[in-house]
Every structure is written in structure tokens, then in C-alpha cells.
């Protein structure tokens, strides 16, 4: 990705270096499901799939000293801010074409632990979007995990992660997230999982739509970037993660889609450049 000289989003909320304070027992959203999926897949599910559970209430408080980032982390910070700005450009334009206004999400940088509108999350759960506060949460250590643990190196692989979570924000703005959440409340576990898969694949497709627009309109991509994005989408497929974690694949428990599905829907968004091509809910088969 060509990030030099490009605008960095001002919608970055830096909570790195904040300390955790336990203040007693309170209601935390998403705790149980976060832990279940963490043990199964190693990544975070849609936060709105969470269930309420009693857990120690957590507050994040700033330390007396400002957070000091090294050169490598500063580059990742800049790259994240540029990618977020690029998604703002794309989705503002697409929403305007439909007579709608795009509300930009905030992106929260954290390390270790963070309190979101959807509950407390740990960095091991991976990046996620919380529809209740309309914020994307990223511990940038995940970028290193993407390379070392999942075998998906490259700056555009990191950009794909941010664009995917912004895709969930788009779903929230247009009402898809609420519709799916309501359907999941009436569905069986297997049906709810399938709806989650369709949500995730649509977010992958939206990430592809962004990549196409960023490349065509603003010459943002470098040679090989698309391949990096496809490799990242493949690396975090449910089938691959389950096989790594437990040595077997349980399709009924999928919540994000297979490696093939994730890379295919990302590629579909890129090839078409159209959000209308991302209708995973009517696609048969996925």
C-alpha cells in the first residue's frame, strides 16, 4: 500500500498504555461467547452475538505517563490511520450515491485488554467491531500474529483486517446487523451460525469493494497487495483455524466461513467494486 503523503484519519482513539481497574461484579456483554470462540477458533466473533454474563466489571484508567511507541509500532499506527481514512473516502462516496450519509466509525487502539460497549475484550480475541458504540477495536499485536501465526504477511493484509471490520460498521449503518441479530434470536444454533457466516462473508466482500475503489480512485494499492489480502482471508477461515486448533473441522460450528469462501467473497467485492454484489444472504450456495 502506498501510504506516504496520504491523509490519516482523525477518528483514532488511542487507549494503549491504559491500566485495568477491577471495580466489583457487574454485567458484561459477550464474555462467555468470546471465551468459547477464542478456545475454538482463536479469533473474535461478532460482538452482538454475545450473551450477558456476570463478570468483574472493568474500567480502563490512563497512566501518568503517555504511551511511548517504538518505530515499528509508529509505522503500524500510521498505516492503520491511513487505511481508516481510505475507507472513509470510499464509503462516504458510496453512501452519497444512494442518497445516504456515512457516519464514520471510531477506531480504538489498545493493548492487552479493552472495555468496549459490547463488553471487555482481550487482545487474543482479535480485532472486532462493536455495533453498540460504533467502534472498531484493534490491538496492533494482531498484525504480527497475522504474519507469524497465520502465515499472512504484508501491509495490505493488515489493511484488509481494518477494512473487514469497517464492513461490519457498514452493515450496522444500513440495518443489516440488527435484522440478522433479530433473526438469530429466533433461530437454532446451527441457523444462527450460518447467519453469522453470511455476515462475515459480506464484510469480506465489502473489504474487497473498498480495495477496488481505493485502487481505482486513489491508486492506493501496490503490486501484490491483492494477493496479500486474499492470503489473509484464506488464513483465517474457520476450517483452517479449527484444523490447527483441534485437528478436525466441525462445519456446523462455523461462524466466519471457510478459507475458500472468505477469499472468494473478498475477490468478488474487488472484481465487481459494487456493494450490491455482496448479497451473501440470498446466495445459494455460499
Ordered per-residue pLDDT tens for the chain, 286 residues:
999 999 999 999 999 988 655 544 433 334 444 444 333 333 444 443 433 333 445 555 555 567 889 999 999 999 999 999 999 999 999 999 999 999 999 999 999 999 999 999 999 889 999 999 999 999 999 999 999 999 999 999 999 999 999 999 999 999 999 999 999 999 999 999 999 999 999 999 999 999 999 999 999 999 999 999 999 999 999 999 999 899 999 999 999 999 999 999 999 999 999 999 999 999 999 9
Please give the distance of CA 195 from its chain centroid, rounded to a whole number: 17
Distances in whole angstroms, Cα of residue 77 to Cα of each of 13, 82, 191, 225, 264: 11, 9, 38, 19, 29
Q: Which residues is 117 bridged to in the sheet?
A: none
Cβ neighbours, 10 Å, residue 157: 23
Closest CA to 220 of 156, 137, 275, 282: 156
C-alpha 286/C-alpha 92 separation (Å) is 28
Specify the pLDDT at position 37.
Answer: 39
Sign of the four-CA dihedral 116, 22, 42, 108: positive
Give phi and psi for 115, each to the nearest 5.
-100, 120
Q: What is the reported pLDDT for 38?
A: 36
- Residue 209: name the closest of 279, 269, 280 by CA: 269
Rg of the chain over all Cα atoms, to the nearest angstrom = 18
Q: Rounded CA gap, 246 and 23, in Å?
A: 36
Q: What is the model's pLDDT at position 125? A: 87
Q: What is the pLDDT of residue 54?
A: 37
Of 102, 112, 97, 269, whose CA–CA distance to 200 is shortest? 269
> What is the spatial order of strands in the sheet that 128-130 belongs to?
12-14, 106-109, 135-138, 128-130
Q: What pLDDT does residue 67 have?
A: 83
Q: Name the residue among 103, 102, 137, 139 with its Cα closest to residue 118.
A: 137
**In the prediction, which pLDDT does 124 show?**
87
pTM here is 0.86
Q: Quote the pLDDT of residue 46.
A: 42
Q: How far apart are CA 151 and CA 259, in angstroms?
A: 13
HEC string of the chain equals: CCCCCCCCCCCEEECCCCEEEEEEEEEEECHHHHHHHHHHHCCCCCHHHCCEEEEEEEEEECCCCCCCCCHHHHHHHHHHHHHHHHHHHHHHHHHHHCCCCCCCCEEEECCCEEEECCEEEEHHHCCEEECCCCEEEECCHHHHHHHHCCCCCCHHHHHHHHHHHHHHHHHHHHCHHHHHHHHHHCCCHHHHHHHHHHHHHHHHHHHHHHHHHHHHHHCCCCCCHHHHHHHHHHHCCHHHHHHHHHCCCCHHHCCCCCHHHHHHHHHHHHHHCCHHHHCHHHCCCC
Amino acid at each position: 500500500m502506498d501510504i506516504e503523503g496520504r491523509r490519516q484519519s482523525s477518528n483514532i482513539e488511542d487507549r494503549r498504555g491504559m491500566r485495568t481497574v477491577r471495580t466489583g461484579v457487574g454485567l458484561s456483554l459477550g464474555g462467555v461467547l468470546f471465551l468459547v470462540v477464542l478456545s475454538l477458533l482463536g479469533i473474535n466473533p461478532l460482538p452482538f452475538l454475545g450473551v450477558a454474563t456476570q463478570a468483574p466489571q472493568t474500567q480502563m484508567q490512563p497512566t501518568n505517563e503517555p504511551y511511548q511507541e517504538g518505530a515499528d509500532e509508529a509505522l503500524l499506527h500510521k498505516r492503520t490511520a491511513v487505511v481508516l481514512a481510505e475507507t472513509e473516502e470510499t464509503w462516504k462516496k458510496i453512501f452519497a450515491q444512494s442518497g445516504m450519509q456515512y457516519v464514520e466509525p471510531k477506531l480504538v487502539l489498545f493493548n492487552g485488554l479493552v472495555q468496549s460497549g459490547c463488553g471487555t475484550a482481550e487482545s487474543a480475541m482479535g480485532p472486532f467491531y462493536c455495533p453498540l458504540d460504533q467502534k472498531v477495536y484493534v490491538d496492533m499485536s494482531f498484525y504480527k500474529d497475522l504474519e507469524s501465526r497465520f502465515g499472512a504477511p504484508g501491509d495490505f493484509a493488515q489493511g484488509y483486517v481494518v477494512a473487514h471490520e469497517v464492513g461490519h460498521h457498514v452493515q450496522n449503518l444500513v440495518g443489516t446487523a440488527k435484522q440478522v441479530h433479530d433473526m438469530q434470536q429466533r433461530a437454532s444454533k446451527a441457523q444462527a451460525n450460518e447467519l453469522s457466516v453470511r455476515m462475515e462473508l459480506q464484510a469480506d466482500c465489502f473489504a474487497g469493494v473498498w480495495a477496488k475503489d481505493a485502487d481505482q480512485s486513489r491508486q492506493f494499492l501496490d503490486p501484490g497487495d491483492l494477493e496479500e489480502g486474499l492470503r489473509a482471508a484464506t488464513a483465517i477461515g474457520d476450517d483452517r483455524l479449527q484444523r490447527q486448533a483441534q485437528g478436525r473441522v466441525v462445519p456446523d460450528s462455523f461462524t466466519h466461513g471457510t478459507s475458500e469462501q472468505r477469499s472468494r467473497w473478498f475477490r468478488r467485492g474487488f472484481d465487481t467494486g459494487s456493494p450490491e454484489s455482496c448479497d451473501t444472504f440470498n446466495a445459494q450456495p455460499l
